[in-house]
Amino acid sequence: MTTLALKFRPRLLSDLVGQEASVKALSNALKRAKETGRLHQAYLFAGVRGTGKTSTARILARSLNCAQGPTAEPCGVCEPCLAAEKPDQNLDIVEIDAASRASVDDARALRDQVQTRPAFCRYRVYIIDEVHMLSQQAFDALLKVIEEPPPHAVFVLATTELQDVPDTIKSRVQIYPFRLIPVPVIEQRLAWVCGQEGVTAEGEALRLVAEAGQGSMRDALTTLDRVIAAGDGKVLEEAVREQLGIVPAVRVQGVLESLASGDTAAVLDHCEALASLGADWTTFWRELVTALRLRVEKEVRAGKGPQDLLRWARVVQLLLQRERDLRDTALPRVVVELALITAAQLPHLAPLESLTGSAARAAGPVSPPPRPNSAPAPSPRPAPEPVKPAAGATKPEATPLRPGGEAESLRAACAELLKSAGARFQGLTSAFQVATGLAFDGTTLRLRFPANAKTSFQDLEREQANPALLRALGVTRMEIAEDGPTPGERPEDRLRNDPALQELLRLTGGEIVEIRKEG
């Protein structure tokens, strides 16, 4: 029985999919050879397995020897074309597996054989597969014949490891790269194959098969063959997931929703269910990252705000950073659970500036230490209880910004204006609290930020031209700037001298033990 990979093997350059650049270059080379009678006689096809290197080498041999050739479109009915369909029985198409014939004696035998003229074709084509497996002595023996081949010989070398081919060989051949085939291209080809075979296939099932091919059309067709056999002539998503060991889609979406809601208990429940299914954690990880990428794309196209987008971007970044740990560990489940628990809590973490600003405002102004031999400070008067507004009373409007006001008064006024504007801009209050300088000239509000308040600077920078924010503050435009680092000052020194951090340490009784740079 012929497998799908052999049955639907390309027989013309136009049948190759995903290699448009190399197909176009070869077609033009054959066209010029037909017009001028000159042909380059050594080619090197380089790329990963299953991308069409050997198939293209056979197509090239057929195109060169066709009765109407050289041509990119061989007739398929002449004797050389028919003989090319069975290269093992064709004396003028010689296929050599360099993995099993890598010695210098094999290369010397080939060098002697090259002098023999073709039996009945125009060219004798030598296809050397996995050429990188040749020994250095074999490459040396092959070099001369490739550099000055007899007029009837054409060499097509194929390799999956281009870096292992000596430069002396690469400098004497035309190199054609064979790229990984995109998943949509493989999926489209699989759908066409299913149509030719009369097989019913679900779109999502074909996507999974295409992704399992990892850029190789041959691997994808081999997988499709197995899935069709297991599904009694049908390609269904659940059957594909079972055959390939891919976790059920409902589990992936369940984990995704648990991350969105920050439900760590649900995350652990899903991991327990995956363990009971005997799921492959690496495969699950790849499916989850793919689903997260689709979620980010959905959020972007829906026009969501920067906070939502950054939240999902941080989750994806965290999972990608833990991918190496997953590959190297003997306890993949532990790595997955810890990474997902951390990712679930990311949306609930507050920036350090907001924590330090809130703590400082809650503590109030810090009283200076008493002077020696001075009278004790009088006890502070009890603060009067705030007057509760009567039922139905309207909320007083915030005081507008005053041109030329002091930085502290402007900071307090901005906080009140943002509070009056509702919950939309209250997250920016901490940015105004850490700004080192504020100035208002009646139309433009200017703010400066220290170098260690980059997060607050970036948060306000994204919104500085927002018309709604400008209306809430009662200004025409906003200008923000970031102070540069002090010359000679180290990053850890700037962190130690950060007033907000010092205030946080004072309120919590903490201390700085170690400062490390991550990443």
Q: What is the CATH number of the domain that holds 124?
A: 3.40.50.300
The 93-97 sheet, strands edge to edge: 93-97, 124-129, 153-159, 42-47, 174-178
Q: DSSP H helical segments within 278-381, as ranges?
A: 281-301, 306-321, 323-328, 332-345, 352-363
Task: Say if 386 falls within a structural domain.
Answer: no
Task: Say if 380 falls within a structural domain.
Answer: no
**Tokens at 319, concatenated:** 């999972």
* Statement: residue 494 has pLDDT above 70: no
Task: Say if 394 falls within a structural domain.
Answer: no
Shared domain check, 194 and 71? no
Shared domain check, 239 and 269? no
Of the pLDDT bands very low, low, confident and very high (cuts 50, 70, 90), residue 490 is: low
| Pick from 104-118, 455-469, 492-506: least confident | 492-506
Shared domain check, 101 and 199? no
| DSSP class of 62 | H
Domain that holds residue 57: 4-178
Q: How far is CA 132 from CA 129, 159, 184, 240, in A?
A: 9, 6, 31, 35
* Statement: residue 217 has pLDDT above 60: yes
**What pLDDT shows up at residue 506?**
65
Of the pLDDT bands very low, low, confident and very high (cuts 50, 70, 90), residue 156 is: very high
Of 178, 208, 232, which residue constitutes the final position of a domain? 178
Shared domain check, 355 and 306? no
* Statement: residue 385 has pLDDT above 80: no
Give the CATH number for residue 230. Answer: 1.10.8.60
Burial 213-224 (b: 16+ CB within 10 A, else e): bebbbbbbbbbb
The 444-449 sheet, strands edge to edge: 437-440, 444-449, 477-482
Give the residue-averaged pLDDT of 253-257: 87
Question: Whole-number mean pLDDT of the chain?
Answer: 80
**What pLDDT shows up at residue 359?**
47
Task: Say if 389 falls within a structural domain.
Answer: no
Give the residue-averaged pLDDT of 76-91: 82
Q: DSSP H helical segments within 381-443, as ranges?
A: 407-420, 429-434
**What pLDDT shows up at residue 518?**
57
Shared domain check, 42 and 10? yes
Q: Yes or no: say if 63 and 70 are a contact pair by the CB < 8 Å rule.
A: yes
Shared domain check, 317 and 297? yes
Of 178, 204, 220, which residue constitutes the final position of a domain? 178
**Total number of domains in the chain:** 4
**What pLDDT shows up at residue 489?**
56
* Statement: residue 101 has pLDDT above 80: no
* Statement: residue 516 has pLDDT above 60: yes
**What pLDDT shows up at residue 254?**
87
Q: Yes or no: say if 439 and 407 are a contact pair by the CB < 8 Å rule.
A: yes
> Which residues are registered as beta bridge partners of 234?
200
Per the model's pLDDT, the better-predicted residue between 490 and 234 turns out to be 234
Shared domain check, 170 and 40? yes
* Statement: residue 176 has pLDDT above 90: yes
Contacts 24+ apart (CB under 8 A), 209-214: 209/235, 209/240, 209/244, 210/183, 210/184, 210/186, 211/183, 211/290, 212/244, 213/50, 213/181, 213/186, 214/180
* Statement: residue 61 has pLDDT above 50: yes
* Statement: residue 158 has pLDDT above 90: yes
Shared domain check, 109 and 56? yes
Give the residue-averaged pLDDT of 452-466: 78
Task: Say if 275 falls within a structural domain.
Answer: yes
Task: Say if 373 falls within a structural domain.
Answer: no
Could you tell me the pTM of the whole model? 0.56
Shared domain check, 417 and 324? no
Q: Which of 185-189, 207-211, 341-345 has the highest mean pLDDT?
A: 185-189
Shared domain check, 156 and 20? yes
Of 200, 219, 244, which residue constitutes the final position of a domain? 244
Per the model's pLDDT, the better-predicted residue between 290 and 424 turns out to be 290
* Statement: residue 394 has pLDDT above 80: no
Q: Yes or no: say if 443 and 473 are a contact pair by the CB < 8 Å rule.
A: no
Of the pLDDT bands very low, low, confident and very high (cuts 50, 70, 90), residue 56 is: very high
Shared domain check, 238 and 123? no
Percent of the chain with pLDDT over 70: 82
Task: Say if 148 falls within a structural domain.
Answer: yes
pLDDT tens-digit readout, 321-376: 888 888 888 888 888 988 898 888 875 544 444 445 544 455 555 454 455 454 45
**What pLDDT shows up at residue 491?**
61
**What pLDDT shows up at residue 318?**
85
Q: How far is CA 156 from CA 41, 59, 159, 172, 292, in A?
A: 8, 11, 10, 12, 43
* Statement: residue 393 has pLDDT above 50: no
Query: Which positions ≥6 away from 406 have C-beta within 8 Å?
Result: none
Of the pLDDT bands very low, low, confident and very high (cuts 50, 70, 90), residue 509 is: low
Give the orientation angle of helix 237-244 with respect to helix 217-230, to 10 degrees.
Answer: 110
Shared domain check, 504 and 453? yes
Of the pLDDT bands very low, low, confident and very high (cuts 50, 70, 90), residue 391 is: very low
Of the pLDDT bands very low, low, confident and very high (cuts 50, 70, 90), residue 497 is: low
**What pLDDT shows up at residue 1?**
58
**Dihedral sign, Cα of residue 510, residue 515, residue 516, residue 518:** positive
Of the pLDDT bands very low, low, confident and very high (cuts 50, 70, 90), residue 484 is: low
Give the residue-averaged pLDDT of 159-163: 91
Task: Say if 500 falls within a structural domain.
Answer: yes
**What pLDDT shows up at residue 463?**
81
The Cα 92–Cα 153 span in angstroms is 9
**What pLDDT shows up at residue 174?**
92
Residue 513, Cβ density class (10 Å: 0-12 exposed, 13-18 middle, ≥19 buried) = exposed
**What pLDDT shows up at residue 383?**
45
* Statement: residue 109 has pLDDT above 50: yes
Of the pLDDT bands very low, low, confident and very high (cuts 50, 70, 90), residue 462 is: confident
